[in-house]
Structure 1
Amino acid sequence: MLRKSLTIALTTTALTATAAWAEDVTLTIESWRNDDLTLWQDKIIPAFEAKHPGIKVKFTPSAPAEYNAVLNSKLDAGSAGDLITCRPFDASLALFEAGHLADLDDMEAMNNFSDVAKSAWQTDDGSASFCVPMASVIHGFIYNADAFAELGIDAPETEAEFFAALEKIREDGTYIPMAMGTNDQWEAATMGYNNIGPNYWKGEEGRRALIAGEQKLTDEAWTAPYATLAKWAPYLGDGYEAQTYPDSQNLFTLGRAAIYPAGSWEISGFNPQADFQMGAFKPPVQNAGDTCYISDHTDIGIGMNAATDHPEAAKTFLAWVGSPEFASIFGNALPGFFPLSKEPVELADPLAKEFVSWRGECESTIRSTYQILSRGTPNLENETWGASVAAIKGTASPEELGAKLQDGLASWYAPQQ
């Protein structure tokens, strides 16, 4: 009787253990993109779970402004999710160096991305990659296609055509030629300097040369964009100095301005607001036939918590994020946030398709100040904001701005000393 009871007990224990082993693994994702919650719940997660029975996924975002602090405290407490959504460059690099993000170089999915795409989530020497790239945003200009048709203007390709278009719009008087203000400063650098600048410093060639100390911010390639920005001022409309970023967005979507210096992140917001046809053109080159360069800026990636209890399941999810299926879902659900995988994605949104088509025509780069060069004080990214505003207002010459920025960078960055 005792033997029979023991056999039943052992059998029950084995069945219980087997049942526990067979239970679904649940992965939790940390993110700052709380505006994406329904996209993850309704499209991304169901698509993954349908093909990976046994792995469940929960998307648990924090408020964007609080994400870094919330995530760090969770990581320190050992309560962070299995998957960590990664901001580009230094914030994620710090997490990797602290041992919080796993090295993903051994994942085959990482071969689906270019070196530029991976650069935002690598060590400085490129020896380790710690987040799978998800999406980038592309810089350029969005325009009111109805206004252009009305005034007989074609999308410009060269700087001469660009300024001729601005002048024609100004002379007509129906529209403000270009909607951008300098009140919030960052737009002047992000949608101004780092939009047009890559055509001057030749994208990655110049950016990497600056990091290596082989070029300086006083070189013409880095000061010439400020001279071009200075020529924008007459076309920005009265009171541009006090105009905020939302003011500029409203001026354009209400049909009062003809051109908007842009990032592709505007597409999903502009689509429901503008009651006119929109088009986009890439940053104009200086001369017809010049190689064009675009800021195809790495924006969001996803990595694995080094302390996860489910590393294999987490890597399965990350491999899927590197797949064409994920890229298609993400790219079409969020037009203007472009998948970074090498394999092209068929997009439905016409404006998004125009932006992403430039990848096949131009060389891609990222914002010049975002990797390595803004770690010290003065912060080169923030200093570039002020310099771009000063260029537009004409309060300093391009040469003076270059000298100030170079002095600041050289004060703390050894390769520039």
Structure 2
Amino acid sequence: MKKTIFGALLSGTALAASGALAADVTLNIESWRTDDLTLWQDKIIPAFEAANPGIKLNFNPTAPAEYNAVLNSKLEAGSAGDLITCRPFDASLALYDAGHLADLGDADGMSNFSDVAKSAWQSDDGSASFCVPMASVIHGFIYNKDAFAEVGVEVPTTEAEFFAALEAFKADGSYIPMAMGTNDQWEAATMGYNNIGPNYWKGEEGRRALIAGEQKLTDEQWVAPYATLAKWGAYLGDGYEAQTYPDSQNLFTLGRAAIYPAGSWEIAGFNTQADFEMGAFKPPVMNAGDTCYISDHTDIGIGMNAKSANPEAAKAFLNWVASPEFAAIFGNALPGFFPLSNTPVELNDPLAKEFVSWRGECESTIRSTYQILSRGTPNLENDTWGASVAAIKGTETPEALGAKLQAGLASWYAPQQ
């Protein structure tokens, strides 16, 4: 492992040897990842405690929908844990601005992460970093290999091939070509617009240009993905308008649909539910040979409560989270949540390996609405949900949707005025 991030006295062994920890210190960890409890109890906690005698970990998560409110209440009351699991961008930035998260920007371990990885947990100017990046999720399409073989469909790489594949499944009639509904709205934007969109606006180039006011949501590269989504409706099956997110998951894992617009977070669940072999393909490019772009979205990090009573022990744990050892444990225990450290991690799950291989083939970006652009009213992220649904249903033209989104953003965001 590299030289300890926070100084020699911050390793658990050194702490114990120096007498800095006269008795065991217990670090309490706040998180929304209730489904990770077994992972922490069985793998992460034993590995850390074995390497850091004198420091104990207590992982006691809150239900995801309640996490933000519960955490804020605890922080205000001074009863929050030593370590705070961080959602990306504004929610965590607000905690830092309120003095609840410590600045970790001078930590050597931050050099283990790329600028894109760190961007989710930094001040707007990049001068302060307040959470150690843990993992990202990657967008693409998961497909039923049996269905493709049965109908004789090749895995698509271009948009023309993609729609030809959908048309072949529709003509065959044995499978719903693609499982996605519009009832819950968010997946139309997350697994639709922000899945295929980076190939249009060239990933970080376009996203940063939008933040800078150098591009507008009425520009062709931001409108065109809606025109592509408008073609999806014909292949989503009867009643997709009322279909919920769990409905779509079930349709695919029961083998009734050929393709699922996906985030890699589905991998672990799909592995247990589907009895057919699955593959994945990245968002199709317009033309063969085009540079490809993927949404490799920063999803989870962890920081230190600025008022922790155990800062040295907390920093020792954060040092370990930045290490290759943690990345290997986390990446393999939760296939589809990909470590963000620059040190390559050997993954065991074949579907996860397929997703992460795209990092070596394509340019990575994050969801276009998540940094800065959804702070005002109207909220661009939420408006993108509705726009993506309207595009799929065909209730508004792509051009009208772009104009509406641009007007909303410009109403409060100065660089777009």
Is the structural similarity TM-score above 0.5?
A: yes
Contact conserved, 2:196 with 2:284, CA < 8 A, in 1?
yes
Pair 302,19 (structure 1): closer, same or farther in 2 beyond 3 Å: closer
Query: Hey, what's the Cα distance between the residues in 1 that align with 2:82 and 2:155?
Result: 46
2:50 corresponding residue in structure 1: 50
Q: Which residue of 1 aligns with 2:210?
A: 210
Q: 5+ residue gaps in structure 2?
A: 1-17
* 1:199 matches 2:199: yes
Deviation at 1:324, TM superposition (A): 0.8
**Shift in Å at residue 153 of structure 1?**
1.6
Mapped to 2, the partners of 1:21 and 1:31 lie a distance apart of: 25
Rounded to whole Å, the distance in 2 between the matches of 1:175 and 1:92 is 42
1:11-410 to 2 correspondence within 5 Å? Answer: 22-410=22-410
Q: CA contact under 8 A between 2:193 and 2:225: conserved in structure 1?
A: yes
Return the offset for 1:352. 0.6
Distance 1:21 1:174 in 2: 64
What one-letter code is carried by the residue in structure 2 that aligns with 1:313? A
Change in Cα spacing, 1:21 to 1:369, as seen in structure 2 (3 Å) is closer
Which letter maps to 1:388?
Answer: S
1:297 match: secondary structure: strand
Give the Cα separation in 2 of the matches to 1:26 and 1:238: 54
Structure 1 unaligned blocks of 5 or more: 1-17
What SS class does the counterpart of residue 61 from structure 1 fall into? coil
In structure 2, distance between residues paired with 1:93 and 1:28: 21
Q: Is the 8 A contact 2:21 2:54 kept in 1?
A: no
Q: CA deviation at 1:20?
A: 9.5
Q: Is the 8 A contact 2:211 2:415 kept in 1?
A: yes
Q: Distance in 2 between matches of 1:151 and 1:94?
A: 51
User: Partners of 1:140 and 1:81 in 2: how far apart?
Assistant: 36
Instruction: Give the direction of change, closer, same or farther, for the CA distance of 1:21–1:49 in structure 2 (3 Å limit).
Output: closer
Indicate how the Cα distance of structure 1 residues 42 and 168 shifts in structure 2: closer, same or farther if over 3 A, else same: same
Matched residues in 1 for 2:344 and 2:149: separation?
Answer: 31
| Cα distance change, pair 21–188 in 1 and its aligned pair in 2 (3 A) | closer
- Superposed displacement of residue 19, structure 1: 8.7
Aligned in 2, Cα 1:218/1:101: closer, same or farther, shift over 3 Å? same
Q: Secondary structure at the match of 1:237?
A: coil
Deviation at 1:96? 0.3
Identity between Structure 1 and Structure 2 (%): 86
AA partner of residue 59 (structure 2) = F
**What is the RMSD of the two structures over their aligned residues, measured on CA atoms?**
1.2
Q: State the AA in 2 paired with 1:86.
A: C
Give the C-alpha shift of residue 405 in structure 1: 0.3
Distance, in Å, in 1 between the alignment partners of 2:275 and 2:335 is: 18
Q: How many residues align?
A: 400
TM-score (norm 2): 0.94
Shift of 1:21: 5.1
Counterpart CA distance in 2 for 1:285 and 1:295 is 13
**Within 1, Cα distance between the matches of 2:173 and 2:202?**
35
Counterparts of 1:90 and 1:263, CA distance in 2: 21
- Which of the two has higher C-alpha Rg? 1
Q: Could you tell me how far apart the structure 2 residues matched to 1:416 and 1:20 are?
A: 53
Q: Give the secondary structure class of the aligned counterpart of 2:374.
A: coil
Amino acid at match of 1:137: V
AA at the equivalent of 1:125: D
Shift of 1:106: 1.4
Larger mean Cα displacement after TM superposition, 360-369 or 67-76:
67-76
User: Alpha-carbon deviation of 1:236?
Assistant: 0.8
The one-letter amino acid of 1:139's match is H
Whole-Å Cα distance in 2 between the matches of residues 261 and 57 of structure 1?
37
Paired AA for residue 229 in structure 1? L
